[in-house]
Chain A
Amino acid sequence: MEKQTDASNNRLLSIQNLETHFFIPEGLVKAVDDVTLHIDEGENLGLVGESGCGKSVTALSILRLIPFPPGRIVGGKILFSGLDLTRLPSNELRKIRGNRIAMVFQEPMTSLNPVYTIGNQIAEVYIEHNHFSPKDAWEKAKEMIEKVQIPSPSKRMGEYPHQLSGGMRQRAMIAMALACNPQLILADEPTTALDVTIQAQILELMEGLHETLGTSILIITHDLGVIAEVADRVAVMYAGKIVEEAEVEPLFNESLHPYTIGLLNSVPALGRKASVGKKRLVEIPGLVPSLYDLPSGCNFNPRCSKKRNICCEEEPPLVELHPGRKISCWAVSEKWA
């Protein structure tokens, strides 16, 4: 027990037993239900799952951006270099936001203020946190725009978001996120709204910046291809809980949780191999349960091919099979026990 605490104090980010619930008329929604994750310095953690599994809420909880009402962090700790973000006073938290932890959103068009130039918006980050003069901030912003490889930086600085393409807007957002050289970036579906070719460019950019600046990235996505590209470790979420956690290669080559296996199988293959045999697209039977009407026992049990009796009665705990490999499944932990 002590060892764990020591380790978590040395980590960049350590989320412990996080509970973020939403109080809506239909019932209590446990969007994040006892989630424990960590990110070390210099590593990228991927957070995968379908829409509505709680990945974005986890990221928003880190920066305490959950709108209340109706949502609220009701339990757990989020330690960032030892500081508990859940207990930090607002003005202290504001110093961390955009400065030591930054966020990149999915929709760059709506995440940029339409009435300010992108130069202004990036410069604002420098003015707010580093207290630069407007002139210095403008210069630094231009440097940042160059760093994210937006062509003709001087011209682009004075342009408004609607004058830029999707890929460029996303780069601008990344520039804003990186401005103060944060230790951690939360990237919430950063490439989902972009064309595939642009996706590739943006991912390359993020990886490059990760390598040169040493920033850790929490990459949240439902796209397994993105995870394979960027992440060092991966956590898979389902209905608010972590079901599997592993390093990226073992997860892809040897996934253990039935849900992870289902996810990987449902990715359609491209190319000639795919048309040979003309197999139907594999799907996970059933639907994601609504979060205020969860099944008893394991959340995944109604759709699981490896279901046992205990799965309908008790929720499986998240066990660490060996260092770095966690699984929440009765069938699997039984086999490995």
Chain B
Amino acid sequence: MKRETTRRKIVRTFLKNRAALVGLVGAVMIIAISLMATVLSPHDPIAQSMGNRLKSPSRTHLFGTDDYGRDLLSRILYGSRLSLMVGVLSVGLGMAAGIFMGVVAGFKGGVLDNIIMRSVDIFMSFPTLLLGLIVLAVLGQGMFKLVIAIAIAIAPRFARLSRGSVISIKQNDYVDAARTIGMSNARIMFGHILPNIIGDLLVMGTLWTATAIRVEASLSFIGLGMPPPDPTWGGIVKQGIEFLDSAPWISLYGGLAIMITVLCFNMVGDGLRDIIDPKLRS
């Protein structure tokens, strides 16, 4: 009974935060929509129709058409699948790699710690977008390469955060106690220490999902995202730049899609941080 109330309290606190609530609803809706993109799209996103170029929003084309006559709404819906998938996968991969490195570095210390963290420093000296750019230039285009590129930019930050947390947690007596019971180092690191630091990491994960989506859009804008004709939000925005005066809805709706998604994930992340921080501090 006691434990349920604590959980309920946490959920209640989160829901009281209106921004977090809006963000959560928004994020859930966006995810649901992207999962049902194939069903919801009124038209084929890559079907060209040269007679229908640059049509403004109407009943048949709710968001209008682009300069190849493709339905913008369908392209944005399909683009959401890519953006969200890249966003979530790259954060997942970056978190896994970064946390692993950070936990090992923090726990073992010494030379290993130095090697790992100095490498992390090197990677972190590059701005995220630039790093993604460099990796893609080397690897080439493609969805998984995109995921890897963004993950490489994200991992160092998680390495740093988890290393710091591990160093403070490993002072605790229960780490010694676990060793006394005969636990191996691996078991202690990932079975005992990691569950104690996961809070902050999850918050960061949510916030970085937002960033990852934005970075994917930026890379697509530059032209390094998925190659045409696959629709990407960044690509849509880029396309629309040429026609800002004649067909502003292209860049507008593309940009709005990016903005709303990033905003929702950020609000959820902030809400999570507000819950986790006071709980940790107490």
A binds B: yes
Contacting residues of chain A (80-129) with chain B, CB-CB under 8 angstroms: 94-99, 102-103, 105, 107, 110-116, 124-125, 128-129
- Asked whether A128 and B181 contact (CB < 8 A) given A107-B173, A110-B172, the answer is yes
Q: How far is the CB of A30 from chain B (nearest CB, A)?
A: 22
A163 adjacent to chain B (CB < 8 Å): yes
Indicate if the CB atoms of B183 and A115 lie closer than 8 Å: no
Contacting residues of chain B (163-183) with chain A, CB-CB under 8 angstroms: 172-174, 176-183
Closest A residue to B2 using CB positions: A163
What's the Cα separation between A130 and B195 when bound, in Å?
A: 24
Q: How far is the CB of B189 from chain A (nearest CB, A)?
A: 13
Indicate if the CB atoms of A98 and B174 lie closer than 8 Å: no
Closest B residue to A95 using CB positions: B182
Which residues on B sit within 8 Å (CB–CB) of A63?
180
Indicate if the CB atoms of B180 and A65 lie closer than 8 Å: yes
Which residues on A sit within 8 Å (CB–CB) of B176?
65, 105, 111
Cross-chain contact of A65 among B174, B179, B184 (Cβ < 8 A): B179
Closest A residue to B174 using CB positions: A113
Closest A residue to B176 using CB positions: A65
B192 adjacent to chain A (CB < 8 Å): yes
Indicate if the CB atoms of B196 and A113 lie closer than 8 Å: yes
Cross-chain contact of A128 among B3, B172, B174, B183 (Cβ < 8 A): B183
Which residues on B sit within 8 Å (CB–CB) of A103?
177, 180
Indicate if the CB atoms of A111 and B174 lie closer than 8 Å: yes
A176 adjacent to chain B (CB < 8 Å): yes
- Asked whether A111 and B182 contact (CB < 8 A) given A116-B195, A163-B2, the answer is no
Indicate if the CB atoms of A110 and B2 lie closer than 8 Å: no
Q: How far is the CB of A218 from chain B (nearest CB, A)?
A: 13
Question: What string of 1s and 0s marks CB contacts (under 8 Å) between B200-231 and chain A?
Answer: 00000000000000000000000000000000
Indicate if the CB atoms of A98 and B180 lie closer than 8 Å: yes
Contacting residues of chain B (54-112) with chain A, CB-CB under 8 angstroms: none
What's the Cα separation between A328 and B179 when bound, in Å?
A: 35
Indicate if the CB atoms of B180 and A114 lie closer than 8 Å: no
Indicate if the CB atoms of A111 and B179 lie closer than 8 Å: no
Indicate if the CB atoms of B179 and A105 lie closer than 8 Å: no
What's the Cα separation between A284 and B173 when bound, in Å?
A: 33
What's the Cα separation between A113 and B170 when bound, in Å?
A: 11
Which residues on A sit within 8 Å (CB–CB) of B192?
113
Question: What string of 1s and 0s marks CB contacts (under 8 Å) between B39-55 and chain A?
Answer: 00000000000000000
Indicate if the CB atoms of A94 and B2 lie closer than 8 Å: no
Indicate if the CB atoms of A105 and B177 lie closer than 8 Å: yes
Indicate if the CB atoms of B181 and A97 lie closer than 8 Å: yes
Indicate if the CB atoms of B196 and A97 lie closer than 8 Å: no
Which residues on B sit within 8 Å (CB–CB) of A173?
177
- Asked whether A110 and B180 contact (CB < 8 A) given A115-B196, A116-B195, A163-B2, the answer is no
Indicate if the CB atoms of A113 and B178 lie closer than 8 Å: yes
Contacting residues of chain A (142-161) with chain B, CB-CB under 8 angstroms: 158-160
Which residues on A sit within 8 Å (CB–CB) of B182?
94-99, 128-129
Q: How far is the CB of B106 from chain A (nearest CB, A)?
A: 15
Indicate if the CB atoms of B184 and A94 lie closer than 8 Å: yes
What's the Cα separation between A158 and B192 when bound, in Å?
A: 17
Indicate if the CB atoms of A176 and B2 lie closer than 8 Å: no
Indicate if the CB atoms of B177 and A111 lie closer than 8 Å: yes
Which residues on A sit within 8 Å (CB–CB) of B173?
105, 107, 110-111
Which residues on B sit within 8 Å (CB–CB) of A110?
172-174
What's the Cα separation between A158 and B195 when bound, in Å?
A: 17
Q: Which residues of A contact B (CB under 8 A)?
A: 63, 65, 94-99, 102-103, 105, 107, 110-116, 124-125, 128-129, 158-160, 163, 173, 176
Q: List 6 A-B contacts (CB under 8 A).
A: A95-B182, A96-B182, A99-B182, A105-B177, A113-B178, A176-B181
Further pairs besides A94-B184, A105-B176, A159-B3: 4, Cβ < 8 Å: A103-B177, A105-B180, A111-B177, A128-B183
Q: Which residues of B contact A (CB under 8 A)?
A: 2-3, 172-174, 176-184, 187, 192, 195-196
6 nearest CB pairs, A to B = A98-B181, A97-B182, A110-B173, A98-B182, A111-B177, A111-B173
